[in-house]
Structure 1
Amino acid sequence: MSDPETGETAEQRLHRNFAELLQELRVAQTGVQILFAFLLTLPFSARFSALSGLQHWLYIAALVAAAVAAATIIAPVSFHRLVFRQGLKEEVVQVSSRLAQIGIFALMLAIIGAILLVVDVVAGLTWAVWLSSILGVLYLGLWYVLPAMHRFRKVLDD
């Protein structure tokens, strides 16, 4: 049975949804990899030992958030490979979508944590808190509030 709007069968829709999700994850994965690599190299820089205790904890929080983001954004590929040809495409799409959402949230935390740490080192904690707060609101607005507003508007229109 095909969808009257798209003409797709349920199986075609699942394949398209998974392909779209993988394309979206490719974009996020690049950002995660660059940030994670940056964070992994920081302890080997000469100035790292001069960081305060708070700055070390900010670093650890950002590093862990980047690691969680990497794990959850890469996980759909592994999940798909391990259940390939098992008739679980719907589960793959659902689980992968959830993992992507968790990964994107962790990426947001990692970015904000890295900004908080870097700006604290460069300009001080007051500037770091202000800038990371402003950027946190921006990320929340663009990544969560904006889509939620459009979903809500669509529900009202239907």
Structure 2
Amino acid sequence: MPPSPSNRDETPEERADRLWSEMLQEVRVCQTGAQILFGFLLSVVFTPRFTTLPVLDRHLYVVTVLLGAFATGALVAPAAFHRFFAGHGLKPELVHAAGHLISTGLVLLALTITSAMLLLLRNALHTAAAASALSGVVLLWFTTCWLVLPHLVLRREARRRERDTGSAGGR
């Protein structure tokens, strides 16, 4: 685990414990949403209307369910890792692996929601072009909120620290 950029006075184990606790809080929100969405998706195939969907929409449904399953698996995986790693002194490794799994799960969740939106809008609007455009907007929104904005904040903070360090070093 890389050294902490903060000025906290904590051991690597304390840092790993803190980060793990923070990650659990973050992932609980995502897990619940992914599991509820996945549960609803599973039930769609059993509705009478499902058999009347065009083949393309049924294939889109299958892709959406698969994405939902992968998202749920990735977002629940940190709990499984914790069970395996518990008592082995591997908390820093757990935090590292869980961070990758959560990031992967978030990407898969965004794709699941976008795919579900596409399926829903294709049937609600009866126009593939509008459904695709609106689903693309949803994906762009997730990309902006979950990737672009955090990246911009990190870049701005890095520039601020660089300025502060440069001006402190020049005194």
Place the TM-score, normalised by the shorter chain, in its bin: over 0.9
What are the superposed Cα offsets for residues 91-132 of structure 1, whole Å, 9 maximum, x if unpaired? 000000000000000000000000000110111212211210
- C-alpha distance in 1 between matches for 2:158 and 2:55: 48
- C-alpha distance in 2 between matches for 1:130 and 1:4: 42
Q: Which residue of 2 aligns with 1:108?
A: 110
Q: Which residue of 2 aligns with 1:28?
A: 30
Q: Does residue 1:152 correspond to 2:140, yes or no?
A: no
**Greater Cα shift, 4-13 or 26-35:** 4-13
What aligned pairs does 1:39-118 form with structure 2 within 5 A after superposition?
39-118=41-120
Structure 2 spans left out of the alignment, 5+ residues: 162-171
Q: Is the 8 A contact 1:3 1:10 kept in 2?
A: no
Residue identity in the other structure for 1:69: A
Residue identity in the other structure for 1:93: V
Alpha-carbon offset, residue 4 of structure 1: 7.4
Structure 1 spans left out of the alignment, 5+ residues: none
**Greater Cα shift, 39-48 or 8-17:** 8-17
What are the superposed Cα offsets for residues 132-156 of structure 1, whole Å, 9 maximum, x if unpaired? 0111111100011001111111222
- C-alpha distance in 2 between matches for 1:108 and 1:4: 30
Partner of 1:105, secondary structure, is helix
TM-score calculated relative to the size of structure 2: 0.88
Identity %: 36
Please identify the structure whose Cα radius of gyration is greater: 2
Residue identity in the other structure for 1:151: L
TM-score calculated relative to the size of structure 1: 0.95
Residue identity in the other structure for 2:141: L
Residue identity in the other structure for 1:133: G
- C-alpha distance in 1 between matches for 2:65 and 2:79: 22
Count of aligned pairs between the two proteins:
157
Q: Is the 8 A contact 2:16 2:95 kept in 1?
A: yes
- C-alpha distance in 1 between matches for 2:55 and 2:143: 28
Residue identity in the other structure for 1:28: C
- C-alpha distance in 1 between matches for 2:27 and 2:93: 17
Instruction: Call closer, same or farther: CA 1:142–1:85 in 2, change over 3 Å.
Output: same
Q: Is the 8 A contact 1:65 1:106 kept in 2?
A: yes
Q: Which residue of 1 aligns with 2:135?
A: 132
